[in-house]
């Protein structure tokens, strides 16, 4: 079957060291895990395109398959894949690739890894990968009648805006975090900052701001929307932005309703941060996600209070 959404990216194994000395070793990671589980919460059919190392936890792939995530585009690497140290420090989380691993490029899918059934998908989301591979993928996919979104690996800076233009000219949405947008005076004027992101076709730039929520710039309507994060329980912020992207894309593809897309993104992120790694999303269900969305956003005026328009053209 042709999925609604194809996610392209990496599967990583994480060894996590927490500030209090606790460790979580051999954890299944990769942005696609969070985005795919999130999209499935809202009924979107999903397929993965990636390269899996021999050491990637099989239980995670089985869990994805049990939840209806398509694995036809998962190519075996034939040896161990990329393993990282995730070091939680006072205010930051550092990611360090362990020695002896394949390169990031070696575990990133190419166009050749897409099964024929994936090519008719309604949307493609590119998780963080080297910019040269993202450019190759977006140029191969962006001419199709599909929604294309991208999450960066290389930060956007004044000196590489033109390189990013070649990626974003054929993309519809861009999902950077604050530490991936390094443009001068960005904090002083976020509307101007986000509006400077290049891309002839680009409509949405979504700035993920962690516990502070996010900003969305809608280029078509010249609108900047701000929202705060929502959570019932906060354990681990890993994957929250990826879960937001999966929920947002599911909402947009279902209705092209921006309010609904934001609601689903916020709810998905709240499940992601409720437990370590992907456990919160694995424990969630479509029923619990929809129930939370209604509780948070369907009371009169709740959606309007959840975010506000910062500026309009």
Domain boundaries, the chain: 5-311
Query: What is the third-level CATH fold of 5-311?
Result: 3.40.1190
Tokens linked to 280? 């919160």
124: nearest Cα among 58, 70, 53, 49: 49
pLDDT digits (tens, 9 = 90+) for 187-216: 556 666 787 788 999 999 999 988 888 999
What's the sign of the alpha-carbon dihedral 277, 4, 51, 161? negative
Report the C-alpha gap between 34 and 11 in whole angstroms: 11
pLDDT digits (tens, 9 = 90+) for 40-77: 999 999 999 999 999 999 999 999 999 999 999 999 99
What integer pLDDT is reported at residue 235 of this predicted model? Answer: 86
pLDDT digits (tens, 9 = 90+) for 111-150: 999 999 999 999 999 999 999 999 999 999 988 889 999 9
Tokens linked to 22? 């606790």
CA 61 to chain centre: 18
pLDDT digits (tens, 9 = 90+) for 249-290: 999 999 999 999 999 999 999 999 999 889 999 999 999 999
Report the C-alpha gap between 276 and 24 in whole angstroms: 9
Q: Is 66 exposed, middle or buried (0-12, 13-18, 19+ CB in 10 A)?
A: exposed
Backbone angles phi, psi at 79, to 5 degrees: -160, 170
**CB within 8 Å of 233: residues ≥ 6 apart:** 273, 274
126: nearest Cα among 252, 29, 32, 266: 32
pLDDT digits (tens, 9 = 90+) for 155-179: 888 889 888 998 999 999 999 988 8
Report the C-alpha gap between 49 and 282 in whole angstroms: 20
What integer pLDDT is reported at residue 313 of this predicted model? Answer: 44
């Amino acid at each position: 079957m042709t999925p609604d959404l194809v996610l392209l990216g990496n599967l990583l194994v994480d060894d996590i060291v927490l500030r209090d000395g606790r460790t979580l070793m051999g954890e299944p990671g990769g942005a696609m895990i969070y985005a795919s589980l999130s999209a499935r919460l809202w009924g979107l059919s999903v397929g993965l395109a990636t390269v899996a190392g021999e050491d990637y936890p099989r239980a995670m792939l089985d869990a994805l398959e049990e939840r209806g995530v398509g694995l036809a585009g998962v190519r075996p690497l034939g040896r161990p894949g990329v393993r990282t140290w995730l070091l939680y420090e006072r205010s930051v989380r550092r990611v360090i690739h362990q020695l002896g691993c394949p390169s990031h490029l070696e575990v990133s899918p190419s166009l050749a890894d897409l099964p024929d059934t994936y090519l008719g998908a309604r949307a493609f989301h590119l998780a963080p990968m080297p910019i040269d591979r993202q450019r190759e993928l977006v140029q191969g996919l962006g001419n199709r009648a599909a929604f294309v979104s991208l999450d960066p690996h290389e930060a956007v800076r004044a000196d590489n805006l033109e390189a990013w233009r070649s990626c974003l000219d054929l993309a519809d949405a861009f999902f950077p975090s604050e530490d991936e947008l390094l443009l001068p005076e960005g904090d002083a004027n976020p509307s101007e900052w986000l509006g400077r992101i290049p891309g002839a076709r680009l409509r949405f730039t979504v700035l993920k701001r962690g516990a502070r929520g996010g900003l969305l710039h809608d280029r078509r309507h010249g609108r900047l929307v701000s929202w705060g994060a929502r959570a019932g329980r906060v354990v681990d912020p890993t994957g929250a932005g990826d879960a937001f992207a999966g929920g947002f894309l599911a909402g947009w593809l279902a209705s092209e309703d921006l309010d609904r897309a934001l609601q689903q993104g916020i709810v998905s992120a709240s499940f992601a941060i409720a437990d370590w790694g992907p456990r919160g999303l694995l424990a969630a269900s479509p029923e619990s996600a929809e129930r939370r969305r209604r509780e948070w956003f369907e009371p009169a005026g709740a959606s309007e209070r959840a975010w506000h328009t910062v500026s309009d053209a």
